[in-house]
Amino acid sequence: MKDSALVLWLGLIELLRASQILVTRLQEPLFILLICGVIYFVISFPIARLGGYLERRWSPND
């Protein structure tokens, strides 16, 4: 298994656990899970774009 996939799942689990704690305190599950999704997107989208860029840059020119 790739290390990056393991880190991805651990980060997602921690983010959802923190949002679950906030849901029980604030009683606003939709709002908190929406913010959780936005945070996850803001973190993962640029990393995915950077990975695609580096993959294209370092691939051999055929």
Nearest CA to 33 out of 12, 48, 47 is that of 12
SS (H, E, C) the chain: CCHHHHHHHHHHHHHHHHHHHHHHHHCCHHHHHHHHHHHHHHHHHHHHHHHHHHHHHHCCCC
Question: Which two tokens mark 38?
Answer: 């936005």
pLDDT in tens, 17-59: 999 999 999 999 999 999 999 988 888 888 889 888 988 899 8
pTM above 0.85, yes or no: no
